Structure 1
Amino acid sequence: MERVVQFTGPRQVEVAEHASAPLPVGHLRVRTRYSGISAGTELTAYRGTNPYLTRTWDPETRLFRDGAAGIEYPVAGWGYSEVGVVTEVSPELAGTAGMPSVGELVWGIWGHRSEGIVPAERMIGHTLPGGLEPLAGAFARVGAIAYNAVLAADIHVGEDVAVFGQGVIGLLTTRLAQLNGARVTAVDALEIRLASAKQYGAHSTLNAHTDPVAARIREATGGVGADVAIEISGAYPALHEALRSVTVGGRVVASGFYQGDGAGLRLGDEFHHNRVQLICSQIGGVPPELTGRWNVERLQRTFLRLVAEGQVDVESLVSHVVPVADAAEAYVLLDERPADALQVVLEF
């Protein structure tokens, strides 16, 4: 039997069981070891705030249409950070270059389910690099999100960069920005996360609740402001403060998944008067100017290579490994007590 985590309604979680399906031509079967929970995008479906629950995305016009839901409850098998063992390969795939073999550890996206049936083309080159613990494979996607934001920021050596939000992806962004040559100011409302930001390479930290963030950043840069700010939390007030924090003509990369109307965002203030560049970073693609050299696959593989080389630490980000039977408790933890958790991983 296959076990699948699903949301049956807002803040309602169950683990359903289904009979395993036959393996189609051109696919691999993977037995899941670990599946990381996204504390951003995934919680929007858990909380009932995801726009797809009330509207439909039209890929041709690239607009949302009101009046119909793109997804409905039960929402089954969400998740995009899986690692597991290949248990079956469709016979005609034997000998395909880069194809994982039975028994190998692989990373990819097949959702919170005990086994994934994954198209072969999505698994070529997805064998876990040697020397990595299996848990590290669950960070390929979240690492790519952070990496993509840093690419969009176009950081140069010696520049001042503010990173707003120091959850898992924010901490990885801080580390990657530092590796890219930035002097990083980390911003968050939780002191425990600011302490972690120091360990991940932040030059300084600011508390969003108690510090006048934009003023402090301008003071630290001789009144100029940061060259770049990366907003990774998905909170409109944080995006507004990021816009206030950069220099004239500075760049703000919005990489969070913002929900609902933009309460707390005033675009007639510093954004307008300082002619700030506002750039969207979204993991569906890389910055347009880099498409000749980069793609999402390269982001993921390069991030795991950095982990394997010891340049980025992911294992210390895992605060909880939760048996899949207790999945509902894991979501309550992330939803109600975010200060008590970083990366929560389901174990199958």
Structure 2
Amino acid sequence: MNVGAARAIEFSASREVDVVDVDPPAPDRGEVLVETTVSAVSAGTELLAYRGDLDPETAADEALEALSGDLSYPLRYGYSVVGTVAAVGDGVDPSWRGETVFGFNPHEGRFLASTEELQPVPDGIGPETAALFANTETAVNFALDGAPRIGERIAVFGQGVVGLLTTALLSRSPAADVVAVEPRADRRALADALGADATVDPSAVDASEALRDRTGGVDLAVEVSGRPETLETAVEATRFGGRVLVGSWYGTKRAEIGFGDHFHRGRVAVESSQVSTIAPELRGRWDADRRRETAWRELRRLQAEDRIADRLVTDRFDVEEAPAAYRRLADDAEPTVQVLFTY
């Protein structure tokens, strides 16, 4: 099969993006060749790569074969690709050919993967919705780690795509109150549409004070703003014995944070949450397969009840236009939420 070179996105230096040729060979034994339909930009992580805010010595993702290596330039990144299996290697069931699949793979128009690295997209879920799978799995992980209890009050700081999906899932939990904290009006409106009980604009009011006035202090604060200085606000908004779950990856960004009397005397717990692993206390009952099954189920429900892709996908760029796409994201232009690349 000779179909010519496809295109891939490569971060070559801070604020420099190249679009390069990729021409993978025929699939080897146990592999398939995937032709990409769409790939979703994970704005938080990929803007760190675009702006040069990643530690080049950090492993890209030890849990994903497609993201082996470190985060030094030149760097191919991304982990939300949907496409069609175009060819199969020896030892692969021929029924895989023509299957629509999701892959944790960088932005590439064509790539090789083993079947173990791919997720068949369930019937009835379109490619643009399926491209939200990775962020939905992250939101499921936050819900598992946050463990919201009946009657609790929750704040989600940051309403990018992950924050919006987290708000949507937590609003369906037994929690009594879910408040979205976000400076952009368009994203506060989306949070409201996805089930938030209230929204707070931290650029207009003191967010921790507004949350304490409404809730008496939240039981759980989920920090997904991507801004390390927000962590202090989240702590201040949390009641005695409450917990702050940090889902943001700050890269090399730093901020002065003062954890004062409230943090110490209030016994506020600050915990990390990262989708590459299952929390130790859950591993007896949960594994990656169970979490992914849950994410697909929740994504199907979000598609049916909330038209999630219609709400979140605001921009579509041909892969050749990648430099313009990252400039738009870096400019934080309203109403950009989810950017997709098409191939």
- Correspondence for 2:236 among 210, 222, 244: 244
Give the secondary structure class of the aligned counterpart of 1:345.
Answer: strand
Q: Does 1:220 align with 2:214?
A: yes
Cα distance in 1 for residues equivalent to 2:24 and 2:47: 27
Determine the structure 1 residue equivalent to 2:65.
none
Give the secondary structure class of the aligned counterpart of 2:43.
Answer: coil
Quick check: 1:141–1:300 contact (8 Å CA) kept in 2? no
Under a length normalisation based on structure 1, what TM-score does the superposition of the two structures give? 0.89
Q: How many residues align?
A: 329
Q: Does 1:120 align with 2:115?
A: yes
Give the secondary structure class of the aligned counterpart of 1:107.
Answer: strand
The AA in structure 1 aligned to 2:71 is I
- Correspondence for 1:149 among 142, 154, 177: 142
CA 1:302–1:329: 2 relative to 1, 3 Å: same
Give the secondary structure class of the aligned counterpart of 2:328.
Answer: helix
Give the secondary structure class of the aligned counterpart of 1:92.
Answer: coil
Quick check: 2:240–2:266 contact (8 Å CA) kept in 1? yes
Which of structure 1's runs of 4+ aligned residues deviate more than 4 A? 56-60
Cα offset for 1:43? 1.4
Q: Does 1:101 align with 2:93?
A: no
- Correspondence for 1:17 among 15, 18, 21: 21
Q: Does 1:337 align with 2:336?
A: no
Give the secondary structure class of the aligned counterpart of 2:135.
Answer: helix
Give the secondary structure class of the aligned counterpart of 1:156.
Answer: coil
Cα offset for 1:312? 5.5
The AA in structure 1 aligned to 2:137 is A
- Correspondence for 1:209 among 203, 207, 216: 203
Matches within 5 A, 1:128-207: 128-182=121-175, 183-207=177-201
Determine the structure 2 residue equivalent to 1:85.
84
Structure 2 residues without counterparts, runs of 5 or longer: 63-68
Quick check: 2:241–2:269 contact (8 Å CA) kept in 1? yes
CA 1:262–1:248: 2 relative to 1, 3 Å: farther
Quick check: 2:186–2:335 contact (8 Å CA) kept in 1? no
Cα distance in 2 for residues equivalent to 1:304 and 1:210: 37
The AA in structure 1 aligned to 2:276 is G
Quick check: 1:333–1:340 contact (8 Å CA) kept in 2? no
The AA in structure 2 aligned to 1:14 is D
Quick check: 2:235–2:268 contact (8 Å CA) kept in 1? yes
Cα distance in 1 for residues equivalent to 2:90 and 2:59: 37
Cα distance in 2 for residues equivalent to 1:58 and 1:192: 32
Q: Does 1:34 align with 2:33?
A: no
Cα offset for 1:192? 1.4
Cα distance in 1 for residues equivalent to 2:139 and 2:256: 24
Q: Does 1:71 align with 2:71?
A: yes
Cα distance in 2 for residues equivalent to 1:138 and 1:56: 26
Quick check: 1:249–1:274 contact (8 Å CA) kept in 2? yes
